[in-house]
Amino acid sequence: MGQKIPINIPFIYFFYKYLLLEPRIFICHRKPDPLDMMSSLQKPFSKLLQVLFFLLLIMCIPSFFAFPSNSSATSFGAAKYEAAEGNEEAEALLKWRASLDDNHSQSVLASWVGSSPCKWLGITCDNSGSVANFSLPHFGLRGTLHSFNFSSFPNLLTLNLRNNSLYGTIPSHISNLTKITNLNLCHNHFNGSLPPEMNNLTHLMVLHLFSNNFTGHLPRDLCLGGLLVNFTASYNHFSGPVPKSLRNCTSLFRVRLDWNQLTGNISEDFGLYPNLNYVDLSHNNLYGELTWKWGGFNNLTSLKLSNNNITGEIPSEIGKATGLQMIDLSSNLLKGTIPKELGKLKALYNLTLHNNHLSGVVPF
């Protein structure tokens, strides 16, 4: 509200008493007139009305000319905030944006205003107006996920934050994304262990974690829902066993776990994958022998198992995987002769077998 002008009460009284009711004290005295005396009895009432009007005018003028204070701007901002509060998803997104570290991140998300996130950069909604896809790859965003309220997005299917500068650990409440099918966090600076609550993401079809600084074990039930198609966790510091759920994850199409410190028996921890097209388990601490089942992957184009501790011989059954284009078994403990059945792989253009204990000739 504006500032009110103080009313000078003595002045008002003076004006009423001496200017309106008793004007004669300011003029020359003269002999009283009987008619004047009669009319003077009627004047006080009219004068009183004039005074009341004058007082009312004085009280109204300050309000009329009052200038608005800065609170009007505050009220406008509050109205905008309240508008965002009306949409839980919009409020959660704005809260996360506010937590980001630098001016660049804030400017990238400058379109995030109001209460309708469906038109914001990187946001796509479903038919009900709920956020279904959140995709902001390659924007250089810097910050963490700790202020991201995952529970506010019950219908989120895709979260793609690939190639930013995000850091910190993955919050356990990411498990609230119960419908998510595509989670891409690769090429960031995330660290620490993955929360075991990620085992609850049973609808995952795509999980990209590569090129971060993750440590600890991979969640053991990543493929508990049996839907995982594309799983990449390479270039991290994961250790411990290969997740048991991957053994029976027949939906797998592409797997990259290279450049970690994973352990396990390669002949026991991996099953049959009729749809598998690409597998890279190189630069780990895997052991065991290659078995005949690797030849049963009819769709396999790339088999990369280098820099492990794999022993035994190369099974001749690999020659049945006629779609193979690349085989890298280098830097292991393999022995025996190179099977002539590899010559049947007409699509093969890259065969790497060095740094083993193999003999014979390459059958091409």
Q: What is the mean pLDDT of the chain?
A: 83
What percent of the chain shows pLDDT beyond 70?
A: 76
Gap between the Cα atoms of 188 and 186, Å rounded: 6
Gap between the Cα atoms of 175 and 170, Å rounded: 10
CA torsion through residues 265, 267, 272, 273, sign: positive
Beta carbons of 114 and 86 less than 8 angstroms apart: no
Report whether pLDDT(15) > 70: no
Question: 231: pLDDT confidence band, cut at 50, 70 and 90?
Answer: very high
Question: 364: pLDDT confidence band, cut at 50, 70 and 90?
Answer: confident
What angle do the packed helices 71-85 and 88-99 form, to 10 degrees?
120
**Whole-number Cα distances in Å, 207 to 181, 203, 226, 256:** 8, 11, 13, 11
- Mapped onto helix, strand or coil, the DSSP state of residue 5 is coil
Report whether pLDDT(80) > 50: no
Q: Which two tokens stand for residue 118?
A: 């469906």
Report whether pLDDT(295) > 90: no
Q: Is 286 exposed, middle or buried (0-12, 13-18, 19+ CB in 10 A)?
A: buried
Beta carbons of 212 and 191 less than 8 angstroms apart: yes
Beta carbons of 267 and 291 less than 8 angstroms apart: yes
What pLDDT shows up at residue 40?
A: 44
Q: Which two tokens stand for residue 137?
A: 């790859």
Q: Which two tokens stand for residue 242?
A: 């290969």
Give the count of alpha carbons within 13 A of 171, CB side only.
Answer: 13
What pLDDT shows up at residue 263?
A: 96
Gap between the Cα atoms of 225 and 1, Å rounded: 61
Gap between the Cα atoms of 38 and 30, Å rounded: 16
Q: Which of 343, 280, 325, 273 is nearest to 306 (CA)?
A: 280
Give the count of alpha carbons within 13 A of 195, CB side only.
Answer: 14
Gap between the Cα atoms of 282 and 306, Å rounded: 5
DSSP string over 227-294? ---EEE--SSEEEEEPPGGGTT-TT--EEE--SSEEEEETTTS----TT--EEE--SSEEEEE--GGG
**Whole-number Cα distances in Å, 16 to 22, 38, 50, 54, 353:** 9, 21, 9, 9, 113
Report whether pLDDT(176) > 60: yes
Give the count of alpha carbons within 13 A of 257, CB side only.
Answer: 23
What pLDDT shows up at residue 56?
A: 54
Q: Tell me whether strands 131-135 and 123-125 are parallel, antiparallel or unpaired.
A: antiparallel
Gap between the Cα atoms of 321 and 293, Å rounded: 10
Average pLDDT (100-109) is: 94
Report whether pLDDT(288) > 80: yes
Evaluate if pTM is beyond 0.85. no
Question: 106: pLDDT confidence band, cut at 50, 70 and 90?
Answer: very high
**Whole-number Cα distances in Å, 32 to 26, 42, 43, 44, 156:** 16, 16, 16, 18, 96
More confident residue, 12 or 96: 96
Average pLDDT (37-49) is: 48
What pLDDT shows up at residue 49?
A: 52
More confident residue, 186 or 267: 186
